[in-house]
Amino acid sequence: MLAAILEGLDTLLLREVKPPEIEDDAALMRVESVAICGSDARILHHGNPRVTPPAIMGHEAAGIIEKAGKNVTRVKEGDRIALGADVPCGRCVWCRNGLGNNCAVNYAVGYQISGAFAQYMKLPRLLLEEGPVTHIPASLSYDEAALAEPLACAINGLEIVNMSLGKTVALLGLGPIGCMMIDLARAMGALKVIGVQRSRMRMEIARAYQADVYISSEDENVVERCLEETGGHGPDVVITTCGAVEAHEQAVDMVAHRGHVNFFGGLAKNTRPAQILSNSIHYKECFVTGSHGSVPRQHELAVTLIHAGKVRVKPVITHQFPLAKIQEAFNTMESRQGMKVIIHPHA
Ligand SMILES: [Zn+2]
Ligand SMILES: [Zn+2]
């Protein structure tokens, strides 16, 4: 089969390799769609302690079960499924309490578990028993189903900030996650959604989601504009859906009293520390949290929300490539010409 092998820093090579062998407690998935995540590009250029080359990345995936070992009960041949990234170990204190994205072992598809930038992928026992393996309806496309993984992370990001009816939500960054969060925030009761974005091209794509207000961080003062849009009170919920430390600072600056800030987007390793006046947290009685990854329950919910049309993912799918053009696909994603770039390994 054809696979894109990560052989070291900045080295992603297409190779013809033997398809994985399947034991009695594993299954084989024919990969139909796999999206490139920002984290895949970070691993390619900077490495990751959980990825040991030669390795196959790719965790935003959907496909069809080609073969299931005789002890496997969760899936059978012909099942259409979507995969998530974080795989709970099922045993540590976090996993036992339903917080598998904080697992002490921290297994993930496309990290320790060989991923989906290949024509076939093995679903090992742990992934099948504890992991985000979700059946998808016949009418849901593989491309859309692949994006249940990032949507699951978005669900985790909004569940943690106590969403409820009537809130104003500001999203600092309208990449794929920020766009999905516009729909998701509304589904969770937001009355007003404010989207902030720097690049004009992404802003144009984000307009398909019809946020109530769009603010260009290139031309406008983000904190002032968000205060203006909320009668001077500030948004009840502010999510940093980007990788800029300035957004962390703006978020704490603008959030309402008793509001919630979520540092959703991770920052590059050598980013300077955020300069936050902790007294503003003190006087505002606001809550500042982070969030990362998701748990299998949220992946299932993501598939349901996409299928129900509650969260639209098609507008953020801007490019599709065959696996043979994975380098071009990465370049397209990293040059930010596109939003979500999807690979079709059998095209
Ligand atoms: Zn991802
Ligand atoms: Zn665990």
CA of 158 to the centre of ligand 2 (A): 22
Helix or strand holding residue 247 (H, E): helix 245-254
Q: What is the pLDDT of residues 255-300, one digit of tens each?
A: 999 999 999 999 988 899 999 999 999 999 999 999 999 999 999 9
Residue type, 123: L
What pLDDT is stored for residue 98 in this prediction?
95
Q: How many CA atoms lie within 13 A of 258 on its CB side?
A: 3
d(CA 20, CA 1): 9
- Under 8 Å CB-to-CB from 242, ≥6 apart: which residues? 172, 173, 175, 178, 265
Taking the centre of ligand 2 as the mean of its atom positions, its distance from the CA of residue 59, in whole angstroms, is 19
For position 268, what pLDDT does the model report?
A: 87
DSSP 195-232: EEES-HHHHHHHGGG--SEEEETTTS-HHHHHHHTTTT
Contact present, 57 and 6 (Cβ < 8 Å): yes
Nearest ligand to the CA of 99 is: 2
Q: 181-237, pLDDT tens digit by residue?
A: 999 999 999 999 999 999 999 999 999 999 999 999 999 999 999 999 999 999 999
Q: Residue 276's Cα: distance from chain center in Å?
A: 26
Whole-number Å distance, alpha carbon 113 to ligand 1 midpoint, is 14
Strand order in the sheet with 260-263: 213-216, 192-197, 168-172, 237-239, 260-263, 287-290
Whose tokens are 């593989």? That residue is 142
Q: Distance, CA 10 to ligand 2 centroid (Å)?
A: 31
Q: Who contacts 319 (Cβ-Cβ below 8 Å, separation ≥6)?
A: 329, 332, 333, 337, 338, 340, 341, 342
Closest CA to 42 of 310, 289, 270: 270
- Averaged pLDDT of the chain: 97
Give residue-wise pLDDT tens across range 1-43: 999 999 999 999 999 999 999 999 999 999 999 999 999 999 9
What's the CA gap between 306 and 313, in Å, rounded? 7
Q: Give pTM, 2 decimals.
A: 0.97
Q: Is the pLDDT of residue 338 over 90?
A: no
CA distance 172 to 174: 7
Dist CA 24 CA 253 (whole Å): 55
> From the CA of 158, how far away is ligand 1's center (Å)?
17
Report CA(272)–ligand 1 centroid distance (Å).
24
* Cα separation values, 162 from 17, 229, 240, 289, 343, Å: 47, 21, 16, 11, 35
Pick from 136, 137, 129, 175: which is nearest to 153 by CA?
A: 175
Give 77-136 pLDDT, tens digit per residue. Answer: 999 999 999 999 999 999 999 999 999 999 999 999 999 999 999 999 999 999 999 999
User: Quick one: DSSP state of residue 55?
Assistant: B
- What lies within 8 Å, CB to CB, of 210 at 6+ separation is 182
Tokens of 136: 């998808």
Q: pLDDT, tens digit, for every residue of 149-195?
A: 999 999 999 999 999 999 999 999 999 999 999 999 999 999 999 99
Counts of helices then strands in the chain (DSSP H, E): 12, 17
Q: What is the pLDDT of residue 345?
A: 98
The residue written with tokens 């959604």 in the block is 193
Give the distance (Å) from ligand 2 centre to CA of residue 186. Answer: 32
- The structure tokens 């679903």 sit at 123
Give the angle 149-155-158 at the CA atoms, nearest 5°. Answer: 150
Measure CA 225 to chain center. 28
Q: Ligand 1 centre and the CA of 94: distance in Å?
A: 21
